[in-house]
Amino acid sequence: MEEKQGEKQDLPANGHAKAKANAALERIEAELVEQENIFLFIPNIIGYTRIVLAIASLYYMPLHPRTCSGLYSFSCILDAADGLAARRYNQSTTFGAVLDMVTDRCTTSCLLVFLASAFPRWSIVFQGLISLDLASHYIHMYASLTMGSSRQSHKKVEASRSYILHLYYTNRTVLFLFCALNELFFIALYLLSFSSPLLSPSLLLTPQSAPISAQPGSPAHPKPSTLFANPWSAGALEMARANKMDSTIPWILAGVSFPVMFGKQIINVIQLVKASKWLGEGDIAARRKAGIVAGKKRA
C-alpha cells in the first residue's frame, strides 16, 4: 500500500516537471520568434544579391554586352531560387514578395530604357511596355491588398475571377517560363543592338566608309580615346556597338521567345483590366454601404 501511494505521489510530480519543461520550451520558441530578423532570411538575401547583380549589369550595359548579359541573366535565374528557398525553409514573407516584384519591375524597366535609346524609332513601343508592366502590377498588387483577405498574396488569384491569371500565378512552371522567356527576348534584342545591321544601321560602317579626320597631320582613323574623352558618351557607345558580334544566336533567341513575350503582355493587359474592375466593385460596395448616390448633393 505504501509503495502504491509513493508511486501515486511520483506521478503528479513527474507531470508537473513535464509541464514546466514544456512551458520552458514554449518560452524559448516564443523568444526565437520574437528575435527573428526577416531581413536576413535566406530568400531575402538572395533578393539583395539579385539587386547587386542587376546594378553591375547596368554598369556594363552601354559598352560590354557579353558581361552585361551574363550578370543580368544570373540575376533573373536567382528570381526562381529565392522562391524555392522561401518554400524550403518556410521563410515566405510579405516583404520578400514585394522585394521580388519591385526588383523584377526595376530591372526590366532599366533594360527597356536602354533598348529605347538603342532603337530610337521604336522608343514609343518600349515606353509603352514599361508603362503597361508597372501599371498592371501596381494596380493588381493594390487590389490584392485592399480587396483581398488579410495578408493575401498578389499571386493568389481565384479561378472564378480570372482563369488565365489563376493558371499564370499558381502554376510555377507556367510562371517561370513566361518570366524567363520574356526577359530572354529583351536580352536578345539588347545583343542584337550590338550585332545586327538590320536593327542598327550604324553597324554597317566599315573602316573604308567611316569618316576620316580633317585635322592636318592626324591619322586617318584616330583611336576612340582621342575622339571621345568620356568613355560613356554617346559617341563612345556607337564605337562600342561598331565592334560587331555574331547575330545568329540572338536572332534565334528572339524568335523563340517572342511569342511568349507577346503572351506576357496580353496577361499584363488582362491583369490591369481585372484588377481595375475589382477595385471598381469595391468602390460600388463602399458607396452602397455609405448610402451615397451619384448625382445627389450632400446635405
d(CA 212, CA 142): 57
- Give residue for cell 564605337: 239
Q: One of 100, 104, 246, 283 is an active-site residue; which one?
A: 104
Task: Give 206's DSSP letter.
Answer: -
**61 neighbors 68 (Cβ within 8 angstroms):** yes
**193 neighbors 118 (Cβ within 8 angstroms):** yes
Q: Where are the beta strands (DSSP E) in the chain?
A: none
Q: Dihedral of CA 144/148/151/152: which sign? A: negative
Task: Give 211's DSSP letter.
Answer: P
Query: 104 catalytic, yes or no?
Result: yes
Which three cell numbers mark 141?
Answer: 498588387
Q: Show which residues are catalytic.
A: 104
